[in-house]
Structure 1
């Protein structure tokens, strides 16, 4: 049990680093190109793991499922995250991402036909109030806050909510590794298509540190976090694992303050705490 908890914490830690790298890479690569490079590398690694494990990847027979999952979980979620991080701080984005469990909860009754208890809906309402408070306080700390950037992160949360719920539905037909590899493949193609006409050579400013950041988001923040999270869920169970996702905004704020020297207004911090508290209530 202790090993499973440590793996869940490690997964959120690695995902938190993705926001920091995304913020750092904002001026080095266009968001669409960054997402394409990230998931192209991740796809190669995932397919390699499947090959070693002698697993078959049904890219054509399950193309609809993979395309839908790739659109929401790889293309929309990641691209919107990187777009948002161009105009708002990693700390701000991390606190907004505390609404992810709420997004999952909202879509669950529509796609999985599961009954949601009143306590979860109360938690959802609390989280929404927290996000609104957070957005109202975004301009008190610095001038980098952007309403468009905030909305892009909110939309990324909704995209991940859809990906998670649909992934649970499609998970009855395939295992998580196969589903992730297939979604990565089609999501990379969609990301590559989005680069057409939007990316110019003059927009690329790569350095050694930038390449290291790309390597991090392509391996540790993608494949590494995926294995840590799924192994942890397998050990402790899905119900006990769910609240651990709320550690993500905590790590992001810590990293943002200490690594990127970001500042947080009191109202934004209060909004983040309210959002996390509501998400925990909704998850339990």
Structure 2
């Protein structure tokens, strides 16, 4: 029970990322918000990863290219696109689309890594893809054929694709890298990479951030809770119940996000969101239930490092 409490707490913080991000995107532009979040997380990881840096500095410096590729896909593009998408779509839609990540990961794995899939996995991919299409077209077949999509949902799909590329890089490179040390370096690289985007945002948008108490608390939340504390809770839970059982709990992210969106943001739930979400979750369960426990464990643990 204690382990599942840790997992639920982690999922609450992960879903809270959508809520706080939605609250902040009208006050702080996407890449600036990403930069602030990464900067706070980086400062915390500097304190937590001192031992890793001391013992494995040579390994980290020699592997700066793959680490930067991980930073670019998993932090810069993924987090930036998530916050950017929240300008145009609801937190409910964004969380449901993110729940389809295993589906897109399976498709890219099939194309790039030649991974073999079982028949039911193909069925799961098709079902989830129908669910995503249903969401981005608001359940309108006419929008589908006229290629009229919600821009925010499309940006969220690109964010998911960026994460899937990151996951492939994780599989290829992270086995030889220290976890805390590599995360610290990735966050540092992300801060440097995001800085030019931040400058452009400030020049083009003529930003005037309202630094009131709620803004400060929100930015600190993003840098501490989904970035650090949620990781610790998630890993403690996975150590006890195993990654396969914990994986099922990830489907609670859109559920918790929806509840918080209705209570905090006063968002409305529409039938197309419910139907699309059901299709996505059924497809994900079919696809991931048949995967190797070792692969599930590896990908899930790495995903939650910077979600």
TM-score, length of structure 1 as denominator length: 0.90
- The aligned counterpart of 1:89 is 90
Matches within 5 A, 1:147-226: 147-200=150-203, 202-226=207-231
Q: 2:82–2:155: 8 Å Cα contact kept in structure 1? A: yes
1:266 is matched with which residue? 271
Counterparts of 2:2 and 2:119, CA distance in 1:
33
Q: Determine the C-alpha separation between the residues in 2 that align with 1:4 and 1:77.
A: 28
Higher relative contact order (CA 8 A, sep 6+): 1
Shift of residue 196 of structure 1? Answer: 2.6
Equivalent pairs, count: 278
- Measured in 1, the distance between the counterparts of 2:38 and 2:174 equals 21
Q: 1:92 to 1:212 in 2, by over 3 A?
A: same
CA distance in 2, matches of 1:233, 1:168: 19
1:238-278 CA distances to partner (integer Å, 9 max, x unpaired)?
A: 33332322221111111101111101211122111211121
1:236-275 to 2 correspondences below 5 Å? 236-275=241-280
Q: 1:115 to 1:259 in 2, by over 3 A?
A: same
Change (3 A) 1:228 1:116: farther
C-alpha distance after superposition, 1:77-126 (max 9, x if no partner): 10000001112111121111111121222233455554332222211111
Distance 1:111 1:7, change over 3 A: farther
Alpha-carbon distance, 1:59 to partner: 4.5
The answer to whether the aligner puts 1:50 opposite 2:55 as a matched pair is no
TM-aligned CA distance change 1:8 to 1:166, over 3 Å: farther
Q: What CA distance in whole angstroms lies between the structure 2 residues aligned with 1:235 and 1:79?
A: 33
The corresponding residue for 2:7 is 8
Structure 2 segments unaligned to the other structure (5+ residues): 141-147, 290-307
Contact 1:38 / 1:218 at 8 angstroms: preserved in 2?
A: yes
Give the structure 1 partner of residue 31 of structure 2. 32
Q: Distance in 2 between matches of 1:109 and 1:4?
A: 33
Which residue number corresponds to residue 230 of structure 1? 235
Deviates more, 1:79-88 or 1:196-205: 196-205
Mapped contact 1:22–1:82 kept (Cα < 8 A): yes
- Does the 8 Å CA contact 1:4/1:236 hold for their aligned counterparts? yes
Is the deviation greater in 229-238 or in 16-25?
A: 229-238
SS in 2 for 1:197: helix
Determine if contact 1:134/1:269 at 8 Å carries over to the other structure. Answer: no
Indicate the SS of the match to 1:204.
coil
- Work out the CA distance in 2 between the residues paired with 1:133 and 1:146: 10
Give the direction of change, closer, same or farther, for the CA distance of 1:221–1:192 in structure 2 (3 Å limit).
same
Task: Show the 5 A alignment for 1:134-149.
Answer: 134-137=135-138, 147-149=150-152
1:280–1:159 CA distance, 2 compared to 1 (3 A): same
Name the residue aligned to 2:296.
none
Q: Spell out, residue by residue over 1:132-175, the C-alpha distance to the aligned partner (whole angstroms, 9 max, x if none).
A: 11122279xxxxx9721111111111111222232132221023
What residue is the counterpart of 2:285 in the other structure? 280
Cα distance in 2 for partners of 1:81, 1:190 equals 17
Cα distance, 1:99–1:171 mapped onto 2, change above 3 Å: same
**Length-normalised TM-score, structure 2:** 0.83
